[in-house]
Amino acid sequence: MRRLGIAGFLVVLSVCGCASMKGTGTSEGSRAAQVPVPPESVPQSTLPPASAPPSKAESSTDNGSDQSSTPAKASDAAPPPPPPPTPVSPASPPSPAKAKPSGDTRPAKQAGAAAAQTRPPGSSRSPPAALPPSPSSPAPAPTSAPVASRALNLADLEQRLRETRAIGVFTKLSLKNQVDDLLNAFRELYRGPDKHPSAELRQRYDLLLLKVLTLLQDGDPPLAAEIASSREAIWSILADPDKFAKI
Amino acid sequence: MAPRISALTLTVIALFGGAPLAAADDASLGKDLKATIALQGMPCDQLVQSKRNGDSDYTASCKDGNRYHIYVNAQGRVIVQKL
Protein backbone atom coordinates (compact mmCIF):
# COMPACT_ATOMS: atom_id res chain seq x y z
CA MET A 1 0.00 0.00 0.00
CA ARG A 2 2.75 2.33 0.95
CA ARG A 3 4.67 1.56 -2.18
CA LEU A 4 1.59 2.23 -4.14
CA GLY A 5 1.34 5.64 -2.56
CA ILE A 6 4.95 6.42 -3.31
CA ALA A 7 4.54 5.27 -6.88
CA GLY A 8 1.50 7.46 -7.29
CA PHE A 9 3.39 10.40 -5.90
CA LEU A 10 6.21 9.84 -8.32
CA VAL A 11 3.81 9.72 -11.23
CA VAL A 12 2.28 13.02 -10.16
CA LEU A 13 5.72 14.54 -9.80
CA SER A 14 6.86 13.46 -13.21
CA VAL A 15 3.67 14.79 -14.75
CA CYS A 16 4.31 18.10 -13.05
CA GLY A 17 7.85 18.07 -14.34
CA CYS A 18 6.62 17.65 -17.89
CA ALA A 19 4.06 20.36 -17.43
CA SER A 20 6.69 22.77 -16.28
CA MET A 21 8.31 22.63 -19.69
CA LYS A 22 5.33 24.24 -21.28
CA GLY A 23 5.43 27.05 -18.86
CA THR A 24 8.82 28.23 -19.93
CA GLY A 25 7.49 30.61 -22.45
CA THR A 26 6.00 32.76 -19.80
CA SER A 27 9.32 33.76 -18.49
CA GLU A 28 10.27 35.41 -21.71
CA GLY A 29 9.71 38.86 -20.57
CA SER A 30 11.70 38.68 -17.43
CA ARG A 31 14.52 36.92 -19.02
CA ALA A 32 16.57 39.94 -19.61
CA ALA A 33 16.51 40.81 -16.01
CA GLN A 34 17.13 37.49 -14.44
CA VAL A 35 18.67 35.40 -17.10
CA PRO A 36 20.49 32.44 -15.82
CA VAL A 37 24.00 32.84 -17.03
CA PRO A 38 23.51 31.39 -20.46
CA PRO A 39 26.39 29.08 -20.68
CA GLU A 40 27.17 27.82 -24.07
CA SER A 41 26.00 26.18 -27.17
CA VAL A 42 22.71 27.77 -27.58
CA PRO A 43 21.01 25.69 -30.16
CA GLN A 44 19.88 28.04 -32.78
CA SER A 45 16.46 27.53 -33.97
CA THR A 46 14.90 28.70 -37.13
CA LEU A 47 15.61 32.34 -37.04
CA PRO A 48 14.35 34.19 -40.00
CA PRO A 49 17.02 35.83 -42.04
CA ALA A 50 15.87 39.16 -40.75
CA SER A 51 16.98 41.21 -43.62
CA ALA A 52 19.99 43.26 -42.87
CA PRO A 53 18.90 46.81 -42.54
CA PRO A 54 20.69 49.60 -44.20
CA SER A 55 19.74 51.88 -41.40
CA LYS A 56 22.82 53.68 -40.45
CA ALA A 57 21.43 54.94 -37.28
CA GLU A 58 21.14 51.92 -35.17
CA SER A 59 24.11 49.66 -35.42
CA SER A 60 26.50 52.41 -34.80
CA THR A 61 24.15 53.27 -32.05
CA ASP A 62 23.96 56.25 -29.87
CA ASN A 63 21.77 58.12 -32.11
CA GLY A 64 20.38 59.16 -28.89
CA SER A 65 18.53 62.08 -30.29
CA ASP A 66 15.36 60.19 -30.78
CA GLN A 67 15.28 58.25 -27.61
CA SER A 68 13.82 60.58 -25.18
CA SER A 69 11.60 62.22 -27.63
CA THR A 70 10.04 59.31 -29.34
CA PRO A 71 6.54 58.91 -28.40
CA ALA A 72 5.38 56.73 -31.19
CA LYS A 73 2.22 56.07 -29.38
CA ALA A 74 0.01 55.08 -32.13
CA SER A 75 -3.35 55.45 -30.74
CA ASP A 76 -6.15 57.44 -31.99
CA ALA A 77 -5.24 58.89 -35.28
CA ALA A 78 -5.81 56.26 -37.81
CA PRO A 79 -8.43 57.20 -40.23
CA PRO A 80 -8.33 54.94 -43.18
CA PRO A 81 -9.84 56.69 -46.10
CA PRO A 82 -12.62 54.48 -47.34
CA PRO A 83 -15.53 55.03 -45.03
CA PRO A 84 -18.02 52.28 -45.17
CA PRO A 85 -21.24 52.87 -43.38
CA THR A 86 -20.63 50.35 -40.67
CA PRO A 87 -18.63 51.79 -37.83
CA VAL A 88 -17.85 48.40 -36.51
CA SER A 89 -14.35 47.14 -36.10
CA PRO A 90 -14.50 43.70 -37.55
CA ALA A 91 -10.93 42.71 -37.29
CA SER A 92 -10.54 43.57 -33.71
CA PRO A 93 -9.16 40.37 -32.36
CA PRO A 94 -9.76 38.99 -28.99
CA SER A 95 -7.62 40.82 -26.57
CA PRO A 96 -4.55 38.86 -25.86
CA ALA A 97 -3.67 37.33 -22.63
CA LYS A 98 -1.96 39.67 -20.33
CA ALA A 99 1.61 38.63 -20.50
CA LYS A 100 3.89 41.10 -18.95
CA PRO A 101 6.71 42.04 -21.27
CA SER A 102 8.75 43.02 -18.39
CA GLY A 103 11.92 42.79 -20.35
CA ASP A 104 11.20 46.05 -22.05
CA THR A 105 13.02 47.39 -19.15
CA ARG A 106 13.88 50.96 -19.33
CA PRO A 107 12.39 53.04 -22.00
CA ALA A 108 8.78 53.21 -21.28
CA LYS A 109 9.56 56.83 -21.43
CA GLN A 110 6.64 57.95 -23.38
CA ALA A 111 4.64 60.87 -22.59
CA GLY A 112 1.84 59.91 -24.85
CA ALA A 113 -0.74 62.14 -23.38
CA ALA A 114 -2.96 61.80 -26.33
CA ALA A 115 -2.51 58.12 -26.44
CA ALA A 116 -3.33 57.81 -22.84
CA GLN A 117 -6.54 59.64 -23.39
CA THR A 118 -7.70 57.53 -26.23
CA ARG A 119 -6.43 54.28 -24.96
CA PRO A 120 -9.14 51.91 -24.05
CA PRO A 121 -9.48 51.22 -20.41
CA GLY A 122 -8.49 47.62 -20.84
CA SER A 123 -5.03 48.38 -22.02
CA SER A 124 -3.54 50.22 -19.18
CA ARG A 125 0.02 49.87 -20.23
CA SER A 126 2.21 52.83 -20.93
CA PRO A 127 2.21 53.87 -24.55
CA PRO A 128 5.39 52.80 -26.19
CA ALA A 129 6.88 53.31 -29.53
CA ALA A 130 5.95 50.11 -31.11
CA LEU A 131 5.01 49.94 -34.69
CA PRO A 132 2.29 52.40 -35.19
CA PRO A 133 -0.45 49.92 -35.35
CA SER A 134 -3.01 50.55 -37.86
CA PRO A 135 -6.66 50.10 -38.11
CA SER A 136 -7.01 46.71 -39.51
CA SER A 137 -10.50 47.58 -40.35
CA PRO A 138 -12.00 50.20 -42.50
CA ALA A 139 -14.16 51.79 -39.96
CA PRO A 140 -14.43 55.47 -39.96
CA ALA A 141 -17.41 57.63 -39.92
CA PRO A 142 -17.68 61.23 -38.90
CA THR A 143 -19.10 60.42 -35.53
CA SER A 144 -17.01 59.88 -32.45
CA ALA A 145 -17.98 56.29 -31.94
CA PRO A 146 -16.05 54.97 -34.90
CA VAL A 147 -13.05 56.94 -33.88
CA ALA A 148 -13.13 55.21 -30.55
CA SER A 149 -13.34 51.82 -32.14
CA ARG A 150 -10.44 52.67 -34.37
CA ALA A 151 -8.37 53.75 -31.45
CA LEU A 152 -9.21 50.52 -29.80
CA ASN A 153 -7.90 48.60 -32.76
CA LEU A 154 -4.71 50.53 -32.85
CA ALA A 155 -4.12 50.09 -29.20
CA ASP A 156 -4.95 46.47 -29.47
CA LEU A 157 -2.48 45.90 -32.26
CA GLU A 158 0.16 47.74 -30.35
CA GLN A 159 -0.59 45.78 -27.25
CA ARG A 160 -0.39 42.52 -29.10
CA LEU A 161 2.94 43.47 -30.56
CA ARG A 162 4.24 44.24 -27.14
CA GLU A 163 2.93 41.08 -25.61
CA THR A 164 3.68 38.59 -28.30
CA ARG A 165 6.09 35.90 -27.34
CA ALA A 166 7.25 35.43 -30.87
CA ILE A 167 9.76 38.21 -30.38
CA GLY A 168 12.27 38.35 -27.60
CA VAL A 169 12.93 41.29 -25.38
CA PHE A 170 16.10 42.49 -27.03
CA THR A 171 14.54 42.12 -30.43
CA LYS A 172 11.47 44.08 -29.40
CA LEU A 173 13.58 46.85 -28.03
CA SER A 174 15.70 46.89 -31.13
CA LEU A 175 12.61 47.08 -33.30
CA LYS A 176 11.27 49.87 -31.20
CA ASN A 177 14.48 51.80 -31.70
CA GLN A 178 14.11 51.47 -35.43
CA VAL A 179 10.48 52.51 -35.33
CA ASP A 180 11.52 55.55 -33.36
CA ASP A 181 14.17 56.36 -35.93
CA LEU A 182 11.63 56.17 -38.71
CA LEU A 183 9.16 58.33 -36.87
CA ASN A 184 11.85 60.88 -36.24
CA ALA A 185 12.66 60.93 -39.92
CA PHE A 186 9.02 61.71 -40.63
CA ARG A 187 8.98 64.41 -38.00
CA GLU A 188 11.98 66.00 -39.57
CA LEU A 189 10.39 65.80 -42.97
CA TYR A 190 7.24 67.53 -41.83
CA ARG A 191 9.23 70.30 -40.24
CA GLY A 192 10.53 71.24 -43.65
CA PRO A 193 8.76 72.79 -46.59
CA ASP A 194 8.35 69.64 -48.65
CA LYS A 195 5.83 67.42 -46.95
CA HIS A 196 5.98 64.56 -49.37
CA PRO A 197 7.67 61.47 -48.03
CA SER A 198 10.47 60.37 -50.25
CA ALA A 199 10.83 56.98 -51.81
CA GLU A 200 13.64 56.35 -49.41
CA LEU A 201 11.31 56.78 -46.47
CA ARG A 202 8.84 54.43 -48.00
CA GLN A 203 11.62 51.94 -48.48
CA ARG A 204 12.64 52.22 -44.89
CA TYR A 205 9.08 51.73 -43.82
CA ASP A 206 8.68 48.68 -46.01
CA LEU A 207 11.91 47.22 -44.74
CA LEU A 208 10.94 47.73 -41.15
CA LEU A 209 7.59 46.16 -41.69
CA LEU A 210 9.27 43.28 -43.41
CA LYS A 211 11.47 42.74 -40.40
CA VAL A 212 8.50 42.71 -38.09
CA LEU A 213 6.65 40.30 -40.29
CA THR A 214 9.67 38.05 -40.57
CA LEU A 215 9.98 37.91 -36.84
CA LEU A 216 6.30 37.27 -36.33
CA GLN A 217 5.36 34.96 -39.11
CA ASP A 218 6.45 31.79 -37.38
CA GLY A 219 5.67 32.59 -33.80
CA ASP A 220 2.51 34.64 -34.16
CA PRO A 221 1.00 34.24 -37.60
CA PRO A 222 -2.31 35.95 -36.80
CA LEU A 223 -0.58 39.09 -35.65
CA ALA A 224 1.72 38.97 -38.65
CA ALA A 225 -1.25 38.71 -40.96
CA GLU A 226 -2.99 41.56 -39.28
CA ILE A 227 0.02 43.81 -39.50
CA ALA A 228 0.60 42.83 -43.10
CA SER A 229 -2.95 43.71 -43.98
CA SER A 230 -2.52 47.06 -42.25
CA ARG A 231 0.56 48.02 -44.17
CA GLU A 232 -1.08 50.59 -46.41
CA ALA A 233 -3.26 51.97 -43.67
CA ILE A 234 -0.25 52.61 -41.50
CA TRP A 235 1.58 54.21 -44.38
CA SER A 236 -1.37 56.43 -45.09
CA ILE A 237 -1.09 57.75 -41.57
CA LEU A 238 2.64 58.27 -41.78
CA ALA A 239 2.48 59.93 -45.17
CA ASP A 240 -0.19 62.39 -44.19
CA PRO A 241 1.19 65.21 -42.05
CA ASP A 242 -2.16 65.87 -40.44
CA LYS A 243 -2.75 62.28 -39.50
CA PHE A 244 0.82 61.89 -38.44
CA ALA A 245 0.57 64.85 -36.15
CA LYS A 246 -2.18 63.11 -34.28
CA ILE A 247 -0.16 60.02 -33.56
CA MET B 1 15.61 1.74 2.78
CA ALA B 2 12.48 2.36 0.82
CA PRO B 3 12.18 5.98 1.91
CA ARG B 4 15.80 6.56 1.00
CA ILE B 5 15.26 5.22 -2.47
CA SER B 6 12.17 7.26 -2.98
CA ALA B 7 13.96 10.42 -1.87
CA LEU B 8 16.69 9.71 -4.33
CA THR B 9 14.15 9.16 -7.03
CA LEU B 10 12.44 12.39 -6.20
CA THR B 11 15.70 14.28 -6.40
CA VAL B 12 16.48 12.81 -9.77
CA ILE B 13 13.04 13.65 -11.06
CA ALA B 14 13.30 17.17 -9.77
CA LEU B 15 16.65 17.62 -11.45
CA PHE B 16 15.47 16.30 -14.77
CA GLY B 17 12.28 18.28 -14.52
CA GLY B 18 14.17 21.53 -14.17
CA ALA B 19 16.74 20.88 -16.85
CA PRO B 20 14.42 21.39 -19.80
CA LEU B 21 13.32 24.66 -18.28
CA ALA B 22 16.78 26.10 -18.27
CA ALA B 23 17.46 24.73 -21.70
CA ALA B 24 14.36 26.37 -23.09
CA ASP B 25 15.38 29.66 -21.55
CA ASP B 26 18.79 29.43 -23.12
CA ALA B 27 17.34 28.57 -26.47
CA SER B 28 14.94 31.46 -26.54
CA LEU B 29 17.61 33.83 -25.30
CA GLY B 30 19.92 32.69 -28.04
CA LYS B 31 17.17 33.19 -30.55
CA ASP B 32 16.53 36.65 -29.22
CA LEU B 33 20.18 37.62 -29.35
CA LYS B 34 20.60 36.27 -32.83
CA ALA B 35 17.55 38.13 -34.07
CA THR B 36 18.89 41.28 -32.46
CA ILE B 37 22.20 40.90 -34.22
CA ALA B 38 20.45 40.31 -37.51
CA LEU B 39 18.22 43.34 -36.98
CA GLN B 40 21.29 45.48 -36.73
CA GLY B 41 22.47 44.12 -40.03
CA MET B 42 25.35 42.12 -38.70
CA PRO B 43 26.21 38.58 -39.66
CA CYS B 44 25.78 35.63 -37.39
CA ASP B 45 25.05 32.29 -38.93
CA GLN B 46 24.53 30.47 -35.68
CA LEU B 47 24.87 31.52 -32.13
CA VAL B 48 27.04 29.06 -30.28
CA GLN B 49 27.65 30.82 -27.03
CA SER B 50 26.28 33.69 -25.03
CA LYS B 51 27.56 35.07 -21.82
CA ARG B 52 25.66 37.34 -19.54
CA ASN B 53 27.71 40.29 -18.38
CA GLY B 54 24.99 42.04 -16.50
CA ASP B 55 21.47 43.26 -16.83
CA SER B 56 20.62 43.47 -20.50
CA ASP B 57 24.24 42.98 -21.33
CA TYR B 58 25.53 39.96 -23.20
CA THR B 59 28.47 38.76 -25.17
CA ALA B 60 27.50 36.47 -28.01
CA SER B 61 29.71 34.26 -30.11
CA CYS B 62 28.65 32.99 -33.49
CA LYS B 63 29.72 29.87 -35.26
CA ASP B 64 31.36 31.89 -38.01
CA GLY B 65 33.71 33.42 -35.49
CA ASN B 66 31.99 36.75 -35.06
CA ARG B 67 31.62 37.98 -31.51
CA TYR B 68 29.31 40.71 -30.39
CA HIS B 69 28.67 42.76 -27.34
CA ILE B 70 24.95 43.30 -27.06
CA TYR B 71 23.60 45.69 -24.51
CA VAL B 72 21.10 48.41 -23.87
CA ASN B 73 22.64 51.82 -23.46
CA ALA B 74 21.52 54.60 -21.20
CA GLN B 75 19.22 55.97 -23.87
CA GLY B 76 17.40 52.69 -24.12
CA ARG B 77 18.87 51.70 -27.43
CA VAL B 78 19.96 48.18 -28.16
CA ILE B 79 23.58 48.30 -29.17
CA VAL B 80 25.33 45.53 -31.02
CA GLN B 81 29.05 46.01 -31.02
CA LYS B 82 31.35 43.80 -32.98
CA LEU B 83 34.24 42.57 -30.89
B49 strand-pairing partners: A40, B61
Q: Do A173 and B78 touch (CB under 8 A)?
A: yes
- CA distances to A76, A77, A179, B13, B44 from A117, rounded to whole Å, are 9, 12, 22, 51, 43
Which of B36, B49, B75 is facing A171, going by the closest CB pair? B36
Q: What is the pLDDT along chain A (247 residues), one digit of tens a residue?
A: 567 677 676 666 666 555 554 444 333 333 333 333 343 333 333 344 334 343 433 333 334 333 333 333 333 433 444 444 333 343 333 343 333 333 343 433 343 333 333 333 333 343 344 444 444 444 444 444 444 444 446 677 888 888 898 999 899 999 999 999 999 999 999 988 888 888 899 999 999 999 999 999 988 999 999 888 888 888 888 888 888 888 7
CA dihedral A242, A115, A201, A53 (to 10 degrees): 180
> For position A14, what pLDDT does the model report?
64
Q: Do A24 and B56 touch (CB under 8 A)?
A: no
Minimum distance, in Å, between the CA of residue B46 and any CA atom of chain A = 6
> In this predicted complex, what is the ipTM?
0.74
